[in-house]
């Protein structure tokens, strides 16, 4: 193959890889690892994939720290997820542990408890009055990614609220 033909082929492959990156990024934020997997599944050469990822990262279109911060905000505020489920999602997206820890730094016990009790109020307008209802609520909170201590505390807080309202009557 003539060197000029090889250079043209390489340029076409890079253009294809960049086009795929921009299309994916136009849909939503992606981590570097997610984009890498998508490009590799498309059958692009490893060197082309790396070159395309370097370009979109340098252009600021891909930023794992921003991805982690936005995912934490969205999953917490929109979906009501707990820190454990968010951490698992970030790990699956290939985000480094340090970036995950930094993005979840604001998710202390108090904020987790607040989010968990908000989820209970949203999903269960009436108070939890028996063990079956409390077990069901516990399961909901665990599936949302709250740890068991937070889930217990949220259920206890809602039960305490019920007792307080009954005493006030």
H/E stretch holding 16 reads helix 3-27
Token code pair at residue 12:
């076409």
Burial 65-87 (b: 16+ CB within 10 A, else e): eebbbebbeebbeeebbbbbbbb
List of residues 6+ apart from 96 with CB closer than 8 A: 64
The residue range of the domain holding 92 is 64-106
Q: For residues 7 and 56, state if they share a domain.
A: yes
pLDDT in tens, 20-79: 999 999 999 999 999 999 999 999 999 999 999 999 999 999 999 999 999 999 999 888
| Cβ contacts of 22 within 8 Å, gap of 6 or more | 56, 61
Q: Specify whether 114 is located in the same domain as 165.
A: yes
For the chain, where are the E strands, in sequence order?
none
Is 135 found in the same domain as 83?
no
- 31 with 78, same domain: the answer is no
Contacts of 9 by beta carbon, 8 Å cutoff, 6+ apart: 1
Do residues 90 and 112 both lie within one domain? no
Q: Tens digits of per-residue pLDDT, 87-111?
A: 999 999 999 999 999 999 988 899 9
Number of domains in the chain: 3
3-state SS assignment for residue 2? coil
Same domain as 169, residue 122:
yes
Based on the domain organization, do 55 and 21 belong to the same domain?
yes
Residue-wise DSSP of 127-141: PP-SHHHHHHHHHHH
169 and 112 in one domain?
yes
Residues 89 and 141 in one domain: no
Can you give the CATH number for the domain in which 41 is found?
1.10.10.10
- Read off the pLDDT of residues 132-151 as tens digits, 9 standing for 90 and up: 989 999 999 999 999 999 99
Kindly report, residue by residue over 110-120, the tens digit of the pLDDT.
Answer: 999 999 998 98
pLDDT of residue 162: 55
The pLDDT of residue 168: 56
């Amino acid at each position: 193959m003539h060197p000029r033909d090889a250079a043209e082929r390489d340029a076409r492959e890079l253009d294809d890889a960049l086009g795929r990156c921009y299309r994916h990024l136009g849909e939503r934020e992606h981590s570097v690892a997610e984009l890498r997997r998508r490009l590799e599944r498309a059958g692009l050469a490893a060197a082309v994939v790396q070159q395309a990822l370097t370009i979109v990262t340098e252009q600021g279109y891909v930023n794992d720290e921003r991805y982690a911060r936005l995912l934490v905000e969205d999953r917490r505020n929109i979906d009501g997820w707990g820190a454990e489920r968010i951490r698992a999602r970030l790990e699956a997206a290939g985000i480094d542990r340090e970036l995950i820890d930094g993005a979840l730094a604001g998710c202390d016990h108090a904020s987790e408890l607040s989010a968990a009790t908000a989820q209970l109020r949203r999903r269960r307008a009436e108070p939890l009055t028996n063990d079956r209802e409390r077990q069901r609520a516990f399961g909901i909170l665990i599936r949302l990614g709250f740890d068991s201590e937070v889930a217990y505390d949220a259920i206890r807080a809602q039960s305490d609220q019920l007792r307080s309202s009954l005493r006030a009557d």
